[in-house]
Amino acid sequence: MNKKNLNQYLHEIAVTAIVVKDEKYLITRRAKTKKKFPGRWTVPGGRLEVSDYQDLPKDTEYHWYNIIGKTLRREIKEEVNIEIENVDYLTSITMIVGEYPSLILSFIADYKSGEISLQEDELDEYRWVTLEEAKNYDLIEGIYDELVMAENKRKGIKANMWSRAK
């Protein structure tokens, strides 16, 4: 990849949620057919699409508000068929895969309702796990550290920056 060919201002934007239910976290396994991280465990989420807002009425003359939260709720519903609430920002991740720079916004949210049903072309398994149990899964790098951040946030321990869990 030639860094000079990248548009320095355009990024694919994705959102993920660490969903909490009964003191456990929802993790999902990416389908083995996925290009990025096939068969690895992660948390549900997906990409922001222009269709998430372009047909909605604007909140001001020029702007739409709260689209990230709406996109996150849509993606969680599509991928695992549940509703979430109490969404709170956790951290951000950037990466470059091929020619697409990506920005991933990670949130923590409470399970609200619904029975898990996986979007089969995206995911093939799920588990509700404790932080300790999460260590036994082949998580995409950084996900365990995000789970630690989420656990700390739930305990009232503030951490503004991601770091490797110890």
**Residue 119 contacts residue 78 (beta carbons within 8 Å):** yes
| pLDDT at position 165 over 80 | no
pTM, two decimal places: 0.90
82-118: pLDDT as tens digits: 999 999 999 999 988 777 789 999 999 999 999 999 9
Domain assignment present for 164: no
- Rounded to an integer, what distance in angstroms lies between the CA atom of residue 12 and that of residue 68? 13
Geometric angle at alpha carbon 47, from 10 and 135, rounded to 5°: 115
User: What total of structural domains would you count in the chain?
Assistant: 1
Residue 120: CATH number of its domain: 3.90.79.10
Closest residue by Cα to residue 146 from 10, 27, 7: 27
Domain assignment present for 161: no
What is the domain extent for residue 93? Answer: 3-154
What pLDDT is stored for residue 1 in this prediction? 47
